[in-house]
Structure formats: C-alpha cells, structure tokens
Chain A
C-alpha cells in the first residue's frame, strides 16, 4: 500500500508509524520540561503528600477485628485514586486547555498529527503520574513495614499494574477532556468519576455492595486497578476480602487490556472530530422543516 513512498525515496516507515515516533519524542520533550519545573510538578502531587500524612496519623488504628492498620489498608486506595486523578482527570484537564488554545486544531492541520499528539499526551501524563505515585509509595514503604514493597515480585506486580492501569485509563481521560470542552463542564464529569471510585472498592470493599452494583463496578477499569494495587501491596492473606477470595490477576490483565486497546483505537478518532469546527445546517433539511 505504501509503494508510492518507496518510489518517492521517502521515509520507509508508514506515515502512522512516523506519527507515533514523533509523538513519543514530543511526549518526552514535554515531560522533561514539566519535571524541570518543580513548581508545576508540586501542583500535581501535593494532595497525595497530604494523604500520606493522614495515613501516618492513623498508623496505630486497627481495622476492626484484624491486626492490620487502617492507614496501611488505605495505601493501595490512595495510590489508585492518585492514578485516576493525576492521570485520567489530569489528562482531561490538559485536553480541555489544548482544545481551547488551539493546540488540538494545530495538530489536526498536520498529517496524522492527532495520533502523535495523543501518544505524546499519554507519555507525558504517564510520566507525571508515575512521579506522583513514587512520592506516595516511597514514604509509605518507609512508614508501614507491613507493605509488601520490600519484595521484587511485589514491585514487578506494582509496575505492571501501574503501566496497564495508565494505558487503560489515560485514553478515557483524553476523550473526556476533548468532549467536554471547558473546565467548568469538566467539574460535572468529576461527579460520576467519584461515584465510580466509590463503587469500585477503592476505599471500601466492593463485596459490601449489592451484587448488581458489584457487576457495574467490574465493567470499569477503576475496580481492577484498585484490585491490582491491593494484590501488589497487601499481604496475600488479605485476598480473602475480595470477590471470589482471590486477586484474580488474569481477569485484571484481561479487563484492563481490553480498555487499553479500545482506548488507543478510538481516542485519536474522537480527538480529531472534536478539533473540528461546527458544521453548517444542511440546507435541504432546514428548508423541509420550514415548509
């Protein structure tokens, strides 16, 4: 299909592959400039530093009937929350700004520019979110000896779940930001997202909800993200509190993977459409309506 390119002696890569590569480079440049400005980065992470402080204050309180501290039990939830807020919602906010200031339209004017733009946003947002997660995880590991972050398997599981979680949720953030073109309307989206977090067992075990609520929760990636976090950070004995009494690693990978694939396929399409200006009324339709 790209015989035309070979004949032209141009880049042997397909235009889309070139756009993905350019997007990776763009994301890296943006991430570097963000990390180089501590003021901007601190704006992203201070809520989570406060959260760690609260957990520290609660370190001696026990979950009723167990030996586990409330603070310890909350760590995976806070990590999951920060991934959703800094990652998904943070990206939605960036998209809203970029749609407003013309960045999105500029990228649409470039061949495959929307693809490159999307990739770059995923890369830079993933980097910033990872930085935020480290800021939570490192002090937490020092504060709570019971966290499993001293084992290699736990770290590998954690890195895997963070990566998969980011790939599954960042496209959703991009689409939300592109569809709700203003910061004010983005506030409205926060409500259902918070509702979703509430029924996804991030802070309160999902098994306490009626079964139909559990089913809704399990459709979305937030529940699986939280489950994965708990499986990485908490002692295996705590799996007993989960649905089916298991960490369900395979299902976690499956559901998050499906969300990631759908997201990466459709987000660039939605972004391109959203960058477009409004269309005119179809003349025929209006005339029929008037008659």
Chain B
C-alpha cells in the first residue's frame, strides 16, 4: 500500500499532476486564535527553483515545515511529490531532502564518517535512474568540504557547517530539496559561495528546490521564481521582472512651480503629469518621476509588517496587485 502511494507520484498515469513537485490549495495554519497562514495556493512545477520571500513572521517556516511533513496543518490540501506529507511514508521520505536550520547536532562526528553513515539509509531506495546515495567523497567535493573530511562537525566554521548541512540534505539525491533560511548569519563571502553551490545543485539531476529567505537580493539571485508571503498570504508571485510590474506601487513625482519645490504621489504617473502640465503650463519645472523598484516595495512591506501596522496583504498601503 505504501509502495503504491509513492508509485502514483512517479508513475506515468496522471502525468499532469506528476509534473507538479508541490501543490497546495487553501493551506491554512492557526495556533489557538492566531492565523499564521490564511489560505496559501501554490503550484511548483518539477525542476523549478522557487524562493519563498517574506519578512520574519510571514509564515515561511511554517509553510516549509508543513511541506516537509514536520508539522500538521489546520486546513487545506497539500501534495508534495504527489503525496500528502502528513501521510508520507519512508519511500516518499527518501525522495525529499531537507536542510535544517539546526547546526549543533552530530558535533563529535567527522565529516566523511557522518556523510557515509547518513547515506546508508538511502541504499534500498535506489532506482535505475537514480543510484542512491552520493558517495561521501563525491559529496564533499560537490559542496567544497574535501579539506575538512576528517574534521569534527563541531569544529567547522559557520559557512562550512552550512555546507555540511546541505550535503546531508542532498546525500539521498532528492527529487525535491527544502532549504529554510540557508544563509542566515553568513558573511558576504560565505553567502557568495553558498549561492554558487545552490546554482550547482539546481543544474543537477533536475532537482526542484524550495528555499525561504527574507532577503530580496538573495531570492533574485537564486531562484527562477519568487513568491512573496506576508501576513499568511501570497501577495506576489512571478519572476523578479514580473514582480516589478505586478506590485506596481505609487510613483513619486517631484517638480517645482515657479521655483517652489513640490512632491506628489500617484498611482498613474503619466495621467498625473499630464494634469500638472495642464494646470501649471510653463510655470512647471524640475520634473522628476520615480517609479518604485521591487526593492522599494518590498522594503515598505517589511517596514509596515514589522511595525505591526497591518496583517493582511490586501490592506498594504501603496501597493496594488
């Protein structure tokens, strides 16, 4: 029975459904009276690298933990590799890789021994297409830890430890990889190296990657697609370029009338400027129109959210979908 469940996910029948690595419909999460997720609809095709972007407390970690099968949900439908994560068996588990946020575990283990030991569990889950697991040496080479092969996990630097966590996450050659806030606490160089690693993984064996971050720049660099989560809802979804168009905010219009400086804000900058010309004619000068960038909008969103001024995406000032 358990085998049949995972077969549905890999089999040829229902090919359309199988093209999706992740699908959620009306996903909700509530702790007591507090709504953390208020109906998240998400579809992630196989092979995509998707970033779940949002301020702290937006529900990113809750979402990823539900998808990983580590947390029960309050309501809604969830399919991960064709299986409800709440019922995911060990065959399903063997196809999902998870990079955890914890970093204190297995401190006395040496890097190569640990990768070898944790890989062993995957051997019976090999398929003709994917022989599992990665060999420890190949894996250390891939994440750049070859020099630390005999170092104890507890003695690694922050960046090295994170790469070890990634190595553990992919040791079973997963179809789908989850990374929760992978670069928190990184210095710029470690961050750069980590980004290169994720790019390498994305090109490897068609792995679908879902990562969470609160850093827009990181989301733009790493992913094919960005989903902005705030107040427990998806408020924007698309490539970075699409998002720029989608979440058009109010433009800032600076000008002077007879030497007097003025600043206006308007949804339709062109119409506003036309009206200014009509009203002031030749007295109008120093005209500048600034359309907000995605970053401006995202920063506004984070500020407003963290100040607790709003909790629902639809009431965000200055941003329309």
Contacts and interface: CB of A to CB of B under 8 A. Distances in A.
B123 A281 contact: no
Number of chain A interface residues as a range: 35 or more
Contact of A279 (B32, B72, B100, B102): B72
Nearest to A10: B126
Contact of A110 (B7, B103, B118): B118
Given A11-B124, A26-B117, A281 B31 contact: yes
Number of chain B interface residues as a range: 35 or more
Most buried by B among A10, A13, A276: A10
B307 interface: no
B71 A277 contact: yes
Contacts of B124: 2, 5, 10-11, 13-15, 18
Contacts of A1: 3
B219 to A, nearest CB: 24
Interface stretch (B105-113, B247-255, B265-273): B105-113
B121 A19 contact: yes
A286 B30 contact: yes
B94 A111 contact: yes
Nearest to B70: A277
A283 interface: yes
Label chain A's interface by main secondary structure: helix
A33 B128 contact: no
Contacts of A282: 74-75
A111 B36 contact: no
Contact of A109 (B30, B93, B123): B93
Which 6 A-B residue pairs are closest in the complex by CB-CB distance?
Answer: A102-B102, A279-B72, A10-B126, A280-B74, A103-B105, A111-B90
Given A11-B126, A110-B121, 17 more contacts: A8-B128, A9-B128, A15-B94, A18-B120, A18-B124, A98-B105, A101-B104, A102-B105, A105-B70, A106-B102, A109-B98, A113-B118, A278-B71, A280-B31, A280-B73, A281-B30, A284-B75
21 contacts: A7-B128, A9-B126, A10-B127, A10-B132, A15-B94, A29-B109, A29-B113, A98-B105, A101-B104, A101-B105, A106-B106, A108-B70, A111-B90, A277-B70, A278-B31, A279-B72, A280-B30, A280-B74, A282-B74, A283-B28, A283-B30
Interface of A: 1-2, 4-5, 7-11, 13-15, 18-19, 21-22, 25-26, 29-30, 33, 98, 101-103, 105-106, 108-113, 116, 275-284, 286
